[in-house]
Structure 1
């Protein structure tokens, strides 16, 4: 490392401050990594040489929680400290990038107090205790560093430093004791006050003397340290042990004479608090007498306890003389005892295998399907409306991200939740039944102009009453309304505590990096605008892109960008939105780019581009990166459905339903069967769905469609008339038009067909339906123009429904070869479909190929296509055939061919 330190090889700069630079180096003699601190400024004679002072002080203390010094090199104009290299992060960085339970935080504070106690026992006062001088490694080991301005408190040395101690104001104003700020003489109690600020901030989540958005200037905070008493921690942590909140406040007592705690006493009290918390968590679990528990269901330590009397050798002093076993010498073992030993060994082996099986079963984590309800504000909240939106959005987003980031948890989509709550706004049990949720998380906030009391409730099915929900756990806490990062992190911490049986809540995937408060606020504003109010726009996409450029580690924003870009593409068919999404995903940091969430985003990008080969690759990648089974089944079903493989789609949705019995999956199953033409199975799934949620629009609409296909015209017309009154949708108007046409009410049919086309002028079904009505009414030129538009839209489509519509349009245009080619593709994709058979009957009837037409009429009727569909004029030519008349008589439509 230059010529001044020939035994060391400098590798890289670790950090730099006002008093020096710190390098990572290799100790060539001892073959170990070290940290070398080089003083950048050599003080003049008479001034305190801080580097040498730090070396002398560290040499006095040898403790696992304090950075150790190995050597000091004083070259006159160049001073270097050779210290222990500790691969770690500052406490600030560690907390931002790691999820810490309260027990873990107490462990860190216990280590900090132990290190501080060791320093104080060696008469060393740190004088600059703050989060940036506290290091934590990946295993959670903590060490105190930077004793550059520390003082010696022993009587024998204190005299030579008295002038330095009095009037000293080195260090950070944010973490100073009142006496240090006022430049009074210092002792160990100054460190206790600084420790109190660090501990309060770590446990509560905010600086005890900070107010407002940024807490004010350092000078303002220093003034409050000297003059104000901080708010009691118990008011900010409603569920924290009083022993802990009282300890925090004892460390922050301002009058020096009343601040009597020592670091050793703090360490001891923290140890007891932490032990009590762990025991409380254990005792919250259901307990039954040991004798009633299968041995394999016990923790390993309990198994050893239960077995120790059976497996430990009998102690001679506790055995009656008459039963003591006498020693034997080299006696042969009889054959029957050899057999018994073998049998016993096999029995023990079997028992061990059974125990291992039960132990694994006992430790399996049950998968959760979680609904996150939108947070509600109590009537007493006096916060401004805009701030209400931001705070509720911050809490909601934190909870949703926590579920997404937890293995064995599946987040039920907000769209699915909204569909149920819209129809059943006050029935949470109906929501649970309809979504297949195992857990519902509700949040209520009661806010004033500075903070909110936040209440989380975890609701599950009542074991004794399926029609009621039970509160499994609750958490209450206080949140500052102007610190969104704090709201996010604390919400996730409190959410994790709702699931004590889940040891890895919010820990299975991405590790969050520090996000600038302003950037996070911008994200929450966009989240509220897009997710909360559905106001996605090109402008919001621009803002999201700029935000991700500034803050690429704001992982949640990628999913929001993907949703916004996809919605804009679907609305406009402008492919530039998909290109922008692709570029944003390409520029994401490696942590996100190689995560399961990137694979999910890429799947939807490929699907929007109709690139099913790439979509399949993304499904494989998502599965490899740990996507849950429900997500993979959903992707598979979507791809099968998009490719016209309706049977495989129905199978995938059925398998997903076994994991999460939801009405949405029932509907998707029914819709797949409907597309397949299996009306019986479609109606079976719908009937189950309608028993759960009888007012569901999608289910009622699909049921009406089935009635229409079955020829139950009165039921279909009645259902569609009710639907179009409340929801004026183009597809329902078209279906009502078809029902009127089948009922030979052609003028009404024309009216609703025109309304449908006006709403969706490029929808091929609307075009085809209106063309058919115009043709029936004799408006041939208008009909031909509409059929041609259908061909233009569907010519490149290979999906079954599209192919059947295309074949009908070609046959009406007398393009026989093209009509038959489209039919053949449809028959290949869905050979058992009744709708394909019905379309074939139309095509061959219009082409005057009556034999083929009759074959497909019979097949369509056998597949439950309603006989009324053969009343349309396209089949008039078949009335000359006796076989057609007999079919009509068989299916109770004998008047079909009577003039």
Structure 2
């Protein structure tokens, strides 16, 4: 369906008539018109519904145009998805063709964006819907080729639910059909501003071309502007920019954009199709994770998790409790780092040092970003001081927005930090008074402090003095032999500081890496340059997922070995790069070498543990989590131990670990949540309830509230469960799990009509979704709405694909019971009981019907029947 200029529509209304071939459809008005077609609002008198009828204009009915609309009809006939405008009928008369399509009572996405101020969650929800419709088209080999906000229709239901519908497949192409050009000679098909670079250049297209167009839609929806500003010189100039010039960085358009979203936009808008996500499904899964997590986490680990998701080749299914644990792990922030010799640890108490945000009061004369560059210089100097202390590790720390000073100290306590460095500056023009403090997060006391005056235009000298003064805040037996101070030229140091400032604002570019390589050739014994080079290489990898940057970083460290750079720093940086490289054998070899050199690192051990956790190697993950905790007994490292214990099914030890965390850090809410999951899975409902309700109500996320609703449900407190699920449904009307649990609760309250309506909603929401959770609930909705044959077919398919998944068995057993397939239902219920699922899980009426059947085994009746 097309929506176009209303003035064109008025003209069309008076000059065009539709040849019907029957009296089934009655035209009421004209909806819109484009260059070739006209769209009417009509009534289907047979089915008593409104429809949209699309027909070619009389003066545009060339053979090329007829081919195009016939192509659209063929493609739409294959598509059946709630996020794609449906084709109802095709009318033909005298060689002309008209399409009878679903009527959408709404507006285009472009108009909707002008008229609404949606929340970030609502924007993500719309993008997820577009991804789902697009994925079905791609699964059928169909490339849209003209995806843009004007071809996305937005409908709002009476209940306020907003639905996105992809329309106008007029120039879409089927990869299964012959490569037949349906555009006028010497013209591009589609709208230049929505085209991918390869489409503009006339190259062979695949589904990733549509993902570029999806990126332009997502950019405009999220950032409020277009990634490529409209060029006054016209379409050719715009085409040149899209193919040859970078898009406007997302952070420039929206300063506060969450980093995972900025990364996604950069990937979708990559010039090279191979650098974009593999499929719309991968994009959907990433957006879904962001939607569920609420985007509260700003950790590098969370960003790396999503970066991997947006580029990985396959997805894995997990049991629900594993998905919950993975969600918790995604928000995990562990950041200790640094190296020390093992012999030093035997003599010195290890120090875990964090650098807090630098506070600057007053103004600094100079370039426009003088204050930002000074802040970067001070922060770098403080970090440098830690690298020059024995038995000391630098703990990565970036406070969440809105944290006050005491909350920052509490966060440092949770990370196991023993010392924090804090700098406060009072500046006037070029003169800055600096106060340096070494704080003890444990008691919030100042351990040592010093101060002096420096000139802001002499930053290189100031950095050296700040580093030296910071070292003096610690006991002399921790001080290493300080390497000689190698001064750079003023211009070189300014370039170096600019690069560090880019890193702080996450605006690195390839030119930064090239500048660092030049600086290293000029100052080959400056260890700070190698560190900046390695970290810049990893930043660029995160942005592009191009491993060439990691190889460049590793090659530079090979040169460092011959330039008197400390071996411990080289090993640290190599392991840092290999963490991102995702090559287990290389990581293992390097880790072994580091252990042989006796340079342990709690940070990298914990990173390796989390790497193994994501790969499903929970036993090895647990081993390295324990090693990390032995070096840094922080709350986060203890929590990492618990996650691996939970994932491997070791609930006994996981309980002990989590309770120990709660004793020492009584406000570490993720531990309460994880403990609640364990107790819920084990059937200890009272303990599960106590753990989750210990989390302040205003701090509970949707997953914790869902688990609390499940606990009430299993305890038979259906009214309490209903209240929770209704509240969740109001804020998350498209959440499949919430809708399914709401329907089950209505069943237990004997509210059959409400249950049926909710299952109808569930069927609609899960239609066409490809993730395991949605397919399970779609299967249940089919069964409860009377389509038992389709439900059983889907149950068979899911059991074949996921034979060991607990919840696949659970929902399949429910489908079989609803369908009166008593033997199959009994078989899977018996399996679930043997796995340890308690009687409370089988209180639904469908399961209780088994109690009256002679085919039901004694074992099943004993457990589930009253």
TM-score range for the pair, normalised by the shorter chain length: 0.3 to 0.5
Larger radius of gyration: 1
More RCO (CA 8 Å, sep 6+): 2
TM-score for the superposition, normalised by structure 1: 0.44
